[in-house]
Structures are given as C-alpha cells and as structure tokens.
C-alpha cells in the first residue's frame, strides 16, 4: 500500500488489513441512552475497534464556538467521561 505523506494508516486487530483512515472509517454505535461508542471500522472484515465514548453533553459542547477556557473545560470533561465509561464497562481503550 502506498501511503501519502501526512495520511494516517492503521492495522485491523482482527484481520491484519492495513488501511488509510478516511471519511467513513470512524463510525458510532449507540451504547446506552444518550451515549455513543465511536470507533474505527475495518473496510475488509468490518471489525469495530473502540476509540472513544461521547454523550449528549459533550456533543452540545462540541457545537459551541468555544473560547480557550471552554475548550479546556471540554477536554477535562471528555477525559473524565472516558474514565467513567471505562470503569463502568470494565474495558480499557488502550491496553498495554
């Protein structure tokens, strides 16, 4: 596979396919009421690899024209929510 400078590639954990991250590679799946699980989908085997969780509050914050202070608050809430979800689901997004 030839990779353009600046493009990002990944390897499917399930089938080993190397592929370029493009629009449509990242998809969401509903996890619970108001919570979505976002991840990368392999174009070959369709394996879904978890990347992050997002809830309705974080979605609303994303849509705002944020000041520097608001962006810091968003980042803080985003990280806090990831930890809460990992603990709640007993999963680890980045094993190792």
Instruction: State the pLDDT confidence band at 1, using cuts at 50, 70 and 90.
Output: low
Domain count, the chain: 1
Residue 53 in domain: yes
Pairwise CA distance, residues 86 & 90, whole Å: 5
Backbone angles phi, psi at 73, to 5 degrees: -65, -40
3-state class (DSSP) for residue 26: strand
Residue 52 in domain: yes
Residue 95 in domain: no
**How many Å separate Cα 85 from the centre of its chain?**
13
Residue 94 in domain: no
pLDDT tens for each residue of 11-59: 999 999 999 988 888 999 999 999 999 999 999 999 999 999 999 989 8
**Single pTM value for the model:** 0.70
Pairwise CA distance, residues 47 & 55, whole Å: 23
Pairwise CA distance, residues 11 & 29, whole Å: 20
Residue 2 in domain: no
Residue 61 in domain: yes
Q: Are 17 and 43 in contact (CB under 8 A)?
A: yes
Structural domain of 68: 9-89
């Amino acid at each position: 596979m030839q990779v353009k400078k600046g493009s990002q590639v990944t390897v499917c954990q399930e089938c080993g396919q190397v592929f370029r991250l493009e629009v449509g590679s990242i998809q969401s799946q509903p996890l619970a009421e108001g919570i979505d699980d976002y991840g990368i989908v392999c174009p070959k085997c369709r394996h879904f690899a978890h990347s992050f969780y997002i809830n309705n509050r974080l979605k609303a914050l994303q849509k705002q024209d944020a000041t520097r202070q608001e962006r810091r608050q968003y980042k803080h809430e985003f990280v806090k929510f990831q930890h809460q979800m990992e603990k709640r689901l007993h999963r680890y997004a980045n094993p190792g």
